[in-house]
Amino acid sequence: MANFVAENIGAEVKLTASEPTKKRYEISLGGERLKIIEEKWLAAARDHAKLPGFRKGHLPAEVILGQMGDWIKERASREVMSSVVEEIVKKESLKLVYNPVIAKIDYKYGDRLAFEAVFEIEPTVTVKNYKGLEVERRQKPVTEDEVTAELERILKQGHPQYLVPVEKAAEADAEEWALVNLTGKIKGETVWSWDGELLSVDSDQAPAGFNNALIGLRPGQKKAWSISLDEDCPTAAWAGQTMSIEMELLDLKRLSGDNGNPLEAHKDEIPKFKEEVRRQIVKRREAVARRHLEEQITADLLRENPMDVPQAEVELRTQELLNRARGLFALSGKELAKEHEGELRVKYAIEAANDIRLGYFMREIARREAVKVNEDDFRKKIESVEDEKERQYYLKHKESVLYDILTEKVFDLLIAGAKITDVEV
């Protein structure tokens, strides 16, 4: 529609720039229509303005403007902007990404109000060449040697499933595993905690002093000790501090049978264990193969369907990725260097734009192919999650989870319709 007069308020609307994801309008209102709005807010202000010698509601207009002129102009301009923006969205059928940005406000009371409104909008999405994509599916058979090696590795690492309790106190250099609760405190405040952590008696993953503190302890007993943190500690804020560590030994375990030969120790159960290990290896490889298929399809969609996306969305997603990077650096006691941050910003901007494009493509393909998600899909997803914290996260971010389910269904459809060449790796 481009240029028109807003029916609700009589403002002149002019489209000054149009891009695939952005539209810019100039809006102006003057004459009697503006004065009517100003008079309404002037009357509202008159009921609140006070001045000795005048009865309430009888102050001259110039006195009210002197006291509350800014308030009147703010209310009048807000009314005009709100009404015009709503009508532009309706008349132009705009799908907003964010609220419009109002700029270049020029307001002369009693004469003319002019401003600019910039709308970030969803692009028109057209997806072509998404059927019959040619992709490779990686396959790698699981060998008996791999299963045996993986099972032996699991047994030697002290997997809880293959351990039995020890009826004695912990000993130095014993091939045993301690199930412990650990808490680290600085100045009485808890800064980290591990609950139900399984560590070998000579673990190099445990905090300093763990092995000495563990020796002689029996399940149910507790012990505390302190360590001094130097400049190389993981978190910079802790450097130079003294950390007190509290430990509770929940259980002490070892491999059943001959610790030197875990496969021999479990020889009667090896067939069952091997079948489970084989299943887990197959499951992991199927997940890797699936990701590779999705990556190929994503690359094809992005290559065949170049599309502008709202810059505001890209900037927001880029900032989220940068904040996450800063957080990871902070956890390691480091700070993200300015020059490195600049490089990451460019990298993340490209990544963000592609992720946003893919999201538009997924929703458009779902619309065309009638792919839907419902409450039953969400319920099944929640029921499949064993970790309570993860379940609560899903419940809190339901819309995001529903989008992930929709994306998975669309990939299922695209993979089912693709021309797949199996490649053994």
The burial class, CB within 10 Å (0-12 / 13-18 / 19+), for 375 is exposed
**pLDDT of the chain, 425 residues: tens digit per residue:** 578 998 888 999 999 999 999 999 999 999 999 999 999 998 888 776 665 555 565 677 777 788 788 999 999 999 999 999 999 999 999 999 989 999 999 999 999 999 999 999 999 999 999 999 999 999 989 999 998 888 877 776 655 555 667 778 887 766 777 888 999 898 888 888 888 888 877 666 678 888 888 888 888 899 999 988 876 665 666 777 888 999 999 888 776 554 556 566 666 777 888 888 899 999 999 999 999 999 999 999 999 999 999 999 999 999 998 888 887 777 666 777 777 888 899 999 999 999 999 999 999 999 999 999 999 999 999 888 877 778 888 888 899 999 999 999 999 999 999 999 999 88
Helices marked H in 217-369: 262-265, 270-304, 311-331, 338-368
- CA–CA distance, 17 with 40 (Å, rounded to integer): 33
Q: What are phi and psi of 323, to 5 degrees?
A: -65, -40
Neighbours of 8 (CB within 10 A): 12
- CA–CA distance, 395 with 413 (Å, rounded to integer): 26
Question: Is the CB of residue 108 less than 8 Å from the CB of residue 8?
Answer: no
Name the residue among 401, 322, 313, 397 with its Cα closest to residue 353.
Answer: 313
Question: Is the CB of residue 243 less than 8 Å from the CB of residue 186?
Answer: yes
pTM greater than 0.85: no
Say what the pLDDT of residue 348 is: 93
The DSSP bridge pattern shows strands 22-30 and 189-200 to be: unpaired
Say what the pLDDT of residue 173 is: 63
The burial class, CB within 10 Å (0-12 / 13-18 / 19+), for 297 is buried
Say what the pLDDT of residue 296 is: 96
- The number of helix segments (H) and strand segments (E) in the chain equals 11, 12
Say what the pLDDT of residue 24 is: 96
**By three-state DSSP, how is residue 3 classified?**
coil
Name the residue among 221, 242, 205 with its Cα closest to residue 213.
Answer: 221
User: What distances in angstroms separate CA 240 from CA 205, 206, 209, 227, 246, one per listed residue?
Assistant: 21, 20, 17, 10, 19
Say what the pLDDT of residue 52 is: 53
Q: Which two tokens stand for residue 127?
A: 């997806």
